[in-house]
Amino acid sequence: MCQLYQTSLGEDCTPIHDALRVCSILHERGYKVSIITNGRSTTQHSRLSHSELTPMISDLFISEELGCQKPKKEFFDAVFSKLQISVSKALVIGDSLTSDIIGGIQYGIDTCWFNPNGSDNTMSQAPTYEIKQLSELLSIL
């Protein structure tokens, strides 16, 4: 039953509105687009393989494969060890204040909170940027 659930999760991959267009433009501009995710390896690989975003994604970092989750420092250590770039050249874009944004801030990375519903930031730290639509990234980068 659990395997069936994981399989069906992996097959459900509907990109967020404008994700394909924004990632395509960023890819054309020469940005390296990577995915960092907490989750099960089989589910995340399946989602990406069913997505039109695949050609624009350079790397996929999954907590299960790294042995630790965002927001832990060890997660970001593993990511930056593979990416071979400076944190000053990176931007963490995410919808989770507690894993994406806090993880990025604690690691010294600029962050962009994707907040389509206009939720209140209840954390003591603020992201570098906040957007309601992915297309807003194009004016930031």
Q: What is the 3-state secondary structure (H, E, C) of 66-134?
A: HCCCCCCHHHHHHHHHHHCCCHHHCEEEECCHHHHHHHHHHHCCEEEEECCCCCCCCCCCCCCEEECCH
Query: How much is the pLDDT for 16?
Result: 82
3-class DSSP state for residue 135? helix
Q: Using the structure block, give the residue that is written with the tokens 């989770």.
A: 96
Instruction: Look at the chain and report how many structural domains it folds into.
Output: 1
Query: How much is the pLDDT for 33?
Result: 95
What's the CATH number where 93 sits? Answer: 3.40.50.1000
pLDDT tens-place values along the chain, 141 residues long: 444 333 333 445 566 889 999 999 999 999 999 999 998 999 999 888 888 888 999 999 999 999 999 999 999 999 999 999 999 999 999 999 999 999 999 999 999 999 999 999 999 999 999 999 999 999 999
**Structural domain boundaries enclosing 68:** 2-140
DSSP state of 25: H
* Nearest partner of 100 among 63, 136, 135, judged by Cα: 63
Query: How much is the pLDDT for 94?
Result: 96
- Predicted TM-score (pTM) of the model is 0.87
Structure tokens at 25: 């433009």
